[in-house]
Structure 1
Amino acid sequence: MTDARSPHQSPESAGTENAGAPLHRPGIKSYVIRAGRTTQAQTRGLMNIWPRLGLNVADGLQDLDTLFGRRAHRVVEIGFGMGGSLIEQAETHPETDFIGIEVHAPGVGKLLDEADKRGLTNLRVYREDALAVLEQCLPPGSIDTLQLFFPDPWPKKKHHKRRIVQPAFVELIRSRLAIGGHFHLATDWEPYAEWMAETVGQTPGFANTADASTAPYVPRPAFRPLTKFEARGEKLGHGVWDLIYRRVD
């Protein structure tokens, strides 16, 4: 394959990691914004729907109750790709508020267009570096669930420093989760799954929710939609590994 990703993994989901953020060494670029044609619907989302549902780091620290006009369960997803999974979650769970973070313009545009067509009011979007959003926009203890599905595995050893799952990143996630909140990771790259399990497992304040029979992994929960890439991979016999950690401290 020409890309260093498995064939059923969304390439856009890599667009969540940034070299300039404080948690990464200066000069290291840990994501690639892939070029792609923007459709009319995606352009509509970026131009017409963004003013209503889009957020910027420059907006500063958010009061999420004010932002959504209510107090609800809060889910943040880093790297939603083309947005299909996040749209499905927001539509299925109107009682929950969702914030998506993605740098890939066509994916952001598609998500916004779909959200508008379906009349969703429980979804907001950042087209920004996820690290900057976490550090500057989301208050400590404000998130109930943080989702990181299929980030770029950067499989070559010399590129491991570009992986978003690093000790400082995990500690930042922990600080933004409420006590009892969950950090849900998924990957179709087994060595990266092992890296995730080791990195999060060594971070104080987290407890793995897996049963002893499957630890450190959990079966794919019903609430995580099956992506088209994952479905294609299952047909080809590829594995997917889910990990869910609970903040206990």
Structure 2
Amino acid sequence: MNHDFQDDATSSSAPADETSTLRHRRIRSFVTRAGRVSPGQQRAIDQLGPRYIVPYDAQVADWSAVFGREAPRVLEIGFGMGGTTAEIAAKRPGDDFIGVEVHEPGVGALLKLIGEQGLGNLRILQHDAVEVLEHMIAPASLDGVHIYFPDPWHKARHHKRRLIQPKFVALLVSRLKPGGYVHLATDWQNYAEQMLEVLSAEPALQNTSDGYAPRPDYRPVTKFEKRGLNLGHGVWDLLFRRV
């Protein structure tokens, strides 16, 4: 998924008010990576992009009009190649999913899955997640947020670049309905500990478990994750609700 918390002091793009506490510097939720788009992915972008990619706009989107219905709405930040996203959307046809990912091969891969599986309850935003949250998602409008295996930034001096930080979590929570959930997963214990600490310190969130959560049935085990588990590596899920 490779999303992180990246400061860019040269940018003039900033939140509209001080309450988000993200104002002083623009914070990006990703680091740009090069990636080759396959012919199949490009074909999916060309053919399905106009229907399933929502263009970024600095104003709140009418998501009921976008999806053509009123349904519970879940935002996923950093869907990578989209396999997990497509599987969850297929398992939960009554919910609508907004996937945010900046990397073109991942966007093409998920569009391909949407086409193959006929997933009408998925839309894609190819843009920075912080700006999407700030401008396109209304306060108290989301039923859930998924962030799976964000970039752990292993070196201690880079931990400040991690996505799960108090300011970002406060922004996330502001977009959740009361009772809405945040579901995180990581395979780095140090990052899991930080996630647990940050989410536990947010007064508007309540842990659904005593510490880490069991993996919910809707989140599939990825090939990468399975390989890690076979090698004895841990995976930590966290599930918090807005009170």
Normalised to the residue count of structure 2, the TM-score between the two structures is 0.90
- Structure 1, gaps ≥5 residues long: 1-12
Aligned residues: 232
Report what 1:205 is aligned to: 204
Q: CA deviation at 1:76?
A: 0.9
1:10-41 CA distances to partner (integer Å, 9 max, x unpaired)?
A: xxx01465544643874876633222221111
One-letter amino acid matched to 1:105 = E
Distance 1:180 1:72, change over 3 A: same
1:39-73 CA distances to partner (integer Å, 9 max, x unpaired)?
A: 11110122221111101222631122122111111
Report what 1:244 is aligned to: 239
In 1, Cα distance between equivalents of 2:125 and 2:28: 19
In 2, Cα distance between equivalents of 1:59 and 1:30: 17
One-letter amino acid matched to 2:233 = H
CA RMSD of aligned residues (A): 1.8
Query: Does structure 1 retain, via aligned residues, the 8 Å contact 2:200–2:207?
Result: yes
Query: Does structure 2 retain, via aligned residues, the 8 Å contact 1:75–1:146?
Result: yes
Secondary structure (helix, strand or coil) at the match of 2:113 reads helix
Query: Does structure 2 retain, via aligned residues, the 8 Å contact 1:18–1:129?
Result: no
One-letter amino acid matched to 1:69 = G
Query: Does structure 1 retain, via aligned residues, the 8 Å contact 2:4–2:162?
Result: no
Query: Does structure 1 retain, via aligned residues, the 8 Å contact 2:4–2:161?
Result: no
In 2, Cα distance between equivalents of 1:139 and 1:77: 16
Secondary structure (helix, strand or coil) at the match of 1:186 reads strand
Report what 2:17 is aligned to: none
Q: CA deviation at 1:142?
A: 1.0
In 1, Cα distance between equivalents of 2:33 and 2:226: 23
In 2, Cα distance between equivalents of 1:76 and 1:58: 16
Query: Does structure 2 retain, via aligned residues, the 8 Å contact 1:75–1:145?
Result: yes
Report what 1:124 is aligned to: 123
Distance 1:92 1:30, change over 3 A: closer
Distance 1:24 1:107, change over 3 A: farther
Query: Does structure 1 retain, via aligned residues, the 8 Å contact 2:183–2:238?
Result: yes
Query: Does structure 1 retain, via aligned residues, the 8 Å contact 2:5–2:160?
Result: no
Secondary structure (helix, strand or coil) at the match of 1:204 reads coil
- 1:231 has 2:226 as partner: yes
Report what 2:50 is aligned to: 51
Query: Does structure 1 retain, via aligned residues, the 8 Å contact 2:153–2:162?
Result: yes
- Structure 2, gaps ≥5 residues long: 15-21
Report what 1:38 is aligned to: 37
Distance 1:26 1:205, change over 3 A: closer
Report what 2:73 is aligned to: 74
In 2, Cα distance between equivalents of 1:149 and 1:83: 11
Pairing of 1:191-202 with structure 2 (within 5 A): 191-202=190-201
Secondary structure (helix, strand or coil) at the match of 1:246 reads strand
In 1, Cα distance between equivalents of 2:23 and 2:189: 23
In 1, Cα distance between equivalents of 2:26 and 2:69: 40
Report what 1:108 is aligned to: 107
One-letter amino acid matched to 2:70 = R
The range that moved more, 49-58 or 163-172, is: 49-58
In 2, Cα distance between equivalents of 1:47 and 1:29: 27
Secondary structure (helix, strand or coil) at the match of 1:71 reads coil
Pairing of 1:142-181 with structure 2 (within 5 A): 142-181=141-180
Q: CA deviation at 1:156?
A: 1.3
In 2, Cα distance between equivalents of 1:233 and 1:176: 33
Distance 1:91 1:28, change over 3 A: closer
Query: Does structure 1 retain, via aligned residues, the 8 Å contact 2:28–2:130?
Result: no
Secondary structure (helix, strand or coil) at the match of 1:58 reads coil
Distance 1:27 1:125, change over 3 A: closer
